[in-house]
Copies of this chain bind each other. A is one copy, B any other.
Amino acid sequence: MAVECGIRILFYIIFSVFILNSCDGAATDIELDAKAQLLHRLDSLNLLLYTFLLILTVLTIWTFKHRRLRFLHETGLAVIYGLIIGAIIRYGFTTNSAILHMPVVPDNSSKYNQSVPPDTLWLRFPEDKGGGLIKNKTFAYTFRGEIYKEDNEIDLKATFDPEIFFNIILPPIIFHAGYSLKRKYFFRNLGAILMYALLGTSISAFVIGALMYAFIQLIPHLSTSFTFLDTLYFGALISPTDPLTIISIFNDLHVDVNLYALVFGESVLNDAVAIVLSGSIQNYAERYQSGSGGFETVAFFQAFGDFVGIFSLSLFIGATMGCITALLTKFTRVRDFPLLESALFVLMSYSTFLIAEASDLTGVVAVLFCGICQAHYTYNNLSPDSRQRTKHLFELLNFLAENFIFSYIGVSMFTFPKHHFDPGFIFAGFLCALLGRAANVYPLSFILNLARKPKISMNYQHMLFFAGLRGAMSFALAIRNTVSDARQAMLTTTSLIVILTVILQGGATTQFLSWFNIPVGVDEEIEGLSQNGVRNDGSVPTGAKPNEKALLARIWGDFDTRYMKPLLTHSRPTLLETLPVCCGPLARILTTTQQMTQDDVSRKIDSDSDFCLEDREMERRRMNVQPRKRNHDDDDEDDDDEDLRIIGMEGFIPLRTL
C-alpha cells in the first residue's frame, strides 16, 4: 500500500512537470480555475526547484567539508548546480510556450491622455468579432513592463521578480554582514577600509567605465548602443566585491585577522557604496537627458550631492534604528521574554530596511549600519537566549539567502529570457574588471602605506587584489533593469564574471594564500592575548601595533565609550560619571539600576570589544577611580548610589588630550 502510494506520488511529481510543459492551452475545457491552479503549481514547482538545489548544495558542502576538499567552495557549488539545472530546464524540455499573449488596442470609447501607461487593463471580448470562445467577460491585467523587442517575450519559467532580491534576499545577507562584523579589527583598520571602499570603489567604477567606453568605440556594432553613462553604470555595478566566498574560506583557515578585517570590511562597505553610486548615476542620466546634452556641471554636482546625501541619510537611519532598538531593550524588561525580544529585534531591523526604501533612500546601506549598531549596542542588552537566537537566525538566513542567490545566478544564466551574449563586450568586461580592481588596490595601498604604521605588504596587496570576487550585489544591480540591449549585455557579462570569479578565484584561494605567504591558522584569541602581552614583556608582537589606530577612530572610540555605550547599554562607566555635572538629573534618568549595581565582570560579556585601546584606557581610569572610591566608602556608607555617582564624576580623567 505504502509503496503503491509512493509510486503514485512519484508519478504525480514527474508528470506534473510534463503536464505543465505540454499544456499549450489548446484544450477548450480548461477552466479559469484550473488555470489559476496551474499557475499556483508552477509557482510551487519553481520554488521547489530552488529548494531542491539548496538541499543538494547543503549535502555536497557537507561531503566536501567532511572529506576536507577545498578546491571548490559552497557558493561555487551552488553556482555550478544552478548552471546544470538551468541547462536541463532550457534544453531538456521542449517548451512550446505555455504563455499566450495577445496584442490589444485601446477601446474606441476610451479617452486616455496621460504620459504613463495605465496600471490595469480591462480586456473585454466583444460579442461580434475576434473569433474567441469567451464572450461577455471582462478580465483584469496589471502592468508589467515595456516591451522593446517583441520576439523577446516575458517568460516566467524559473525566473523571479528582481525586486525579490532587493526586498527579501539581500537584507538578511547585508544585515548579517554588519551584525557579525568583528568590530575590533574593523575599527582598527577603519582608515584603510574606508579608503578602499569609498574612494577605491568610485575610482574602480570610473576606471572601468572609461576603459569600457574606449573599448567599445573600437567595436562598431557596440558603439551605437552604449553611452558613456551606460558603461559608467556598468563600472559601478561590477566594482563591488563579494565577501561571502572569500570570507568563509578565511574563516575556515583562520587567516590573519587584519587581512580578514580589510577584505571583509571593504567588501561589506563597497556593496553599500556601489548601490548608492549606481543610483546616483541613474539620477544623473535622467537629469542629463532632460537637459541640453553634453557634460552638465550642475547635474554632475547634483549626482555627487545625491551620492553623499543618500549615503549619509541611509547610514543615519540605520544607526538611529539600531540605537532605538538598544534603548528599547535597555529601558524595558522585554528581555524577560526572549521570544518577544528576538521578535522585536528582527522587526526593528527589517523595518530599518523598509523605512529607508520607503523614503527613497538605500535600504542596503541602512540595514548594514543598523546591523553594526545592533551588534555594538543592542547585543549587550539582550538576554543570553536572544543573543543566541538572533545570531543563529541571521546565520541561517544568510546561509540560505546567499546560496539561493548563487543558485539563481547559475539557473538564470540559461533561463532568464533577457540575456544578450556579445563576445566583445564580455571580453572587455573581464579585462576591465581586473584593471578596475588593480586601480583600486595598488595606488590606494601606496598612499595608505605613506601614513600607516604596519604597512600593507605587497603580498597583502596581491591578496586584496585577488580577493576581488564579484557576487550577489553586482548580479542584483544588473538584473534590476534589463530593458535595453545595453543593459542585457551588461547582465550577461556580469553573470559570467560572477560565475567565473566565484568558481575559479574562490577555488584557488587556499592556493593563493600559501603563494603569498599569508599567515593562516592564526587564532584570534591568542592574537588578542598577545595584544595585552605588550605591556607585560615589553615586546611588540608583529602585525599588531597598539598605536596604529587612526585619530578619527580614537576620537570616536572615546566618545563611544563615554557617552554612547553608557546611554545605550548597561556598560560602565555610566553617564553619571561621564556627563558634566549640570546634566546630572538627565544622566540619572538614563542610567538603569542594573548599570549602577552590576560589577565589572559583566563588562567582559562583550567579548568582541571594539577598541583595543579601551582596555588600557579603562584600566587607567579604574586605577584612578578605585582607590578614591574606597576612601569615600569609608567616609559615607548610607547612600551608595549617590556615592558611586559622585566618585565617578570626580574620578574621571578627561581624555580630551587624545
Contact = CB atoms under 8 A, between A and B. Distances in A.
A59 interface: yes
A227 interface: no
Interface stretch (A28-36, A375-383, A564-572, A585-593): A28-36
A535 interface: no
Contacts of A320: 6, 9
Interface residues of A, number: 125
Interface in A156-190: 163, 167
Given A32-B117, A131-B112, A393-B393, A316 B9 contact: yes
A41 B357 contact: yes
B343 A399 contact: yes
Given A51-B347, A392-B393, A31 B286 contact: yes
B141 A54 contact: no
A115 B109 CA distance: 26
A52 interface: yes
A144 B150 contact: no
B396 A342 contact: yes
A509 B347 CA distance: 29
Contacts of A62: 332-334, 337, 340
A104 interface: yes
Interface string A416-440: 0000000000000000000000000
Contacts of A106: 102-105, 123, 125-126, 129-130, 132
B120 A99 contact: yes
A133 B104 contact: no
A361 to B, nearest CB: 8
B113 A343 contact: no
B143 A139 contact: yes
Interface in A310-359: 312-313, 316-317, 320, 328, 332-334, 336-337, 339-340, 342-344, 346-348, 350-351, 354-355, 357-359
Given A121-B121, A133-B114, A317-B9, A344 B55 contact: yes
A43 interface: yes
A316 B12 CA distance: 13
Contacts of A122: 101-104, 147, 150
A317 to B, nearest CB: 6
A104 B140 CA distance: 10
Given A140-B146, A351-B52, A41 B343 contact: no
Nearest to A49: B354
Contacts of A336: 65-66
A450 interface: no
A58 interface: yes
A337 B8 CA distance: 35
A140 B147 contact: yes
Contact of A355 (B30, B31, B48, B123): B48
Contacts of A130: 105-106, 110, 112
A45 B103 contact: no
B145 A139 contact: yes
A118 B133 CA distance: 12
B133 A115 contact: yes
Given A9-B316, A54-B343, A43 B102 contact: no
A124 B142 contact: no
Contacts of A35: 116
B344 A58 contact: yes
A100 interface: yes
A105 B103 contact: no
A61 to B, nearest CB: 6
Given A99-B119, A344-B58, A396-B393, A105 B124 contact: yes
A363 B43 CA distance: 13
A328 B388 CA distance: 26
A237 B494 CA distance: 49
A483 to B, nearest CB: 9
B47 A354 contact: yes
A119 to B, nearest CB: 5
B107 A105 contact: yes
Contacts of A618: none
Contacts of A344: 55, 58-59
A394 to B, nearest CB: 11
A360 B41 contact: yes
Contact of A333 (B66, B142, B389, B395): B66
Contacts of A6: 316, 320
Contacts of A37: 360
Interface string A382-412: 0000001100110110011000000000000
Interface in A43-79: 43-45, 47-48, 51-52, 54-55, 58-59, 61-62, 65-66
20 contacts: A8-B313, A16-B360, A43-B167, A44-B358, A55-B348, A58-B334, A58-B343, A59-B328, A62-B334, A101-B118, A103-B106, A103-B109, A105-B108, A113-B132, A113-B133, A138-B146, A140-B145, A141-B141, A389-B392, A389-B396
Interface of A: 2, 5-6, 8-9, 12-13, 16, 25-26, 28-33, 35, 37, 40-41, 43-45, 47-48, 51-52, 54-55, 58-59, 61-62, 65-66, 98-126, 129-134, 137-147, 150, 153-154, 163, 167, 282, 286, 312-313, 316-317, 320, 328, 332-334, 336-337, 339-340, 342-344, 346-348, 350-351, 354-355, 357-361, 363, 388-389, 392-393, 395-396, 399-400
The 5 tightest CB contacts between A and B, nearest first, are A141-B141, A12-B359, A102-B118, A48-B354, A44-B357
Given A9-B359, A30-B116, 16 more contacts: A9-B316, A41-B357, A51-B347, A55-B351, A58-B347, A101-B122, A102-B112, A103-B107, A104-B124, A105-B105, A105-B124, A106-B130, A113-B132, A120-B153, A339-B399, A343-B399
